[in-house]
Amino acid sequence: MLFAVYAIDNEDSLQLRMSTRESHLAYLSNSPLVFAGPLLDEQGNMCGSLIVLDMQDISEVKDFIENDPYAIAGLFKSVAIRRFVKAFPRDEIN
């Protein structure tokens, strides 16, 4: 099952994000990740994260996010987790 994680950073936390970014990326590399990337503010600065994970249930997703180096460092002001259905692009059937 797919889950979308929409996390918003605390105000003025770009330095914290950058100092924990490598450990966050390493953490994601060992996960059931579908795709992920930073959210950007109007000036083009990173201000949050969008992560789509393929996991069995929301409790797994919550555990995964709580153990993310960004979360452990206190980067996130808010985190929303929702089930997600990929509609496009459609996979071709041969």
The angle at the Cα of 68, spanning 80 to 27, to the nearest 5 degrees, equals 125
* Comparison of pLDDT for 92 and 70, the residue scoring more: 70
2-84 CATH: 3.30.70.1060
10-14, 60-64, 73-77, 90-94: range with lowest mean pLDDT: 90-94
Task: Write down the domain spans for the chain.
Answer: 2-84
Question: Residue 66's CB: how many other CB atoms inside 10 A?
Answer: 10
| pTM recorded for the entire structure | 0.89
CA dist list (Å): 50 to 3, 33, 42, 91? 10, 11, 16, 22
